Every structure is written in structure tokens, then in C-alpha cells.
Amino acid sequence: MQYLTDRKRAAGLGSAKSGTAHFWSMTVSSGALLVLIPLFVFTFGPMLGAPHADVVAYFGRPFPAIVATLTIVVTFKHFNDGVQTLIEDYVHGLAQKVSIVVMTCISFAAAATGLFAIARLAL
């Protein structure tokens, strides 16, 4: 007969690992996106349909390039965290680990592509 406390029975079964850090990461990135998305829309919007030379000159200035860069970085970080939560909730086993790695690679690749495009325009 084993005399285990409730805490001992639950050890290793619950989250209690990185849930709080993940929650705060999502909360902070959501707050940042509340500011960055309107800024991005108002800085990027006027350039829609503009000639290439005007767009290059516009994104050669620091403010539009910084806003676009921050928006891309924070958006894909938020996307990656959200998809990771979704995968952890609905996919299990080896497929869960593979899916998280694939989605992390996709989000980093998309962010790198966006940053490369902004760097080409700004530099």
C-alpha cells in the first residue's frame, strides 16, 4: 500500500512549466501589435500602387522601415506562439513535436523573407 500525497500523485502530470512565460509573451506581443498594426497600415498604405522608385525612397527613411520591421518580427513571433499553443492542444505524440518544429521553421522563414525585403528596400 502506497501512501502518496495529492501533490506526489500529480507530480509530472500538470503544466507548471512555461505556461506563465508563454501567457505573458502572448499578452505583450498582442499589446505591441495593437500599436504596430495601425502604424503599419498608415505607413504602408500610401505606398500601395506607387511606382517602385517612390516605394524605395519611402522605405529608405528610418521610420517606415523600423515600423515595418517591428511589425514583421512581432507578428511572426505572435503567430508562432499561437500556432504552438494550437498544436499542443490538438496534436499529440511525435506528430506534435514534428508539427511544432515545422511551424517554427515556417514562421522564421517568413519573418526572414520579410526582413530581407525591408532591408533591400531600406539599404
We report the CATH number of the domain holding residue 115 as 1.20.1300.10
| 90 vs 51: CA distance, rounded Å | 45
Give the chain as a 3 state SS string: CCCCCHHHHHCCCCCCCCHHHHHHHHHHHHHHHHHHHHHHHHHHHHHCCCCHHHHHHHHCCHHHHHHHHHHHHHHHHHHHHHHHHHHHHHCCCHHHHHHHHHHHHHHHHHHHHHHHHHHHHHC
Residue 69 domain-assigned?
Answer: yes
Tell me if 7 is assigned to some domain. no
Q: How many domains does the chain have?
A: 1
Is 2 part of any domain?
no
**Global confidence as pTM:** 0.82
What's the pLDDT band for 21 if we cut at 50, 70, 90?
confident
Q: Residue 41's pLDDT is what?
A: 96
Q: Is residue 97 part of a domain?
A: yes
Q: Give CA–CA dist 40/67, Å, rounded.
A: 6
Is 30 in contact with 78 (CB distance < 8 Å)?
A: yes
* Domain assignment present for 3: no
Residue 10 lies in a domain: no
Residue 88: give the domain boundaries: 20-122
> Given the C-alpha cell 500556432, which residue does it identify?
83
For 61-120, what is each residue's pLDDT tens digit? 999 999 999 999 999 999 999 999 999 999 999 999 999 999 999 999 999 999 999 999
Inside any domain, residue 34: yes
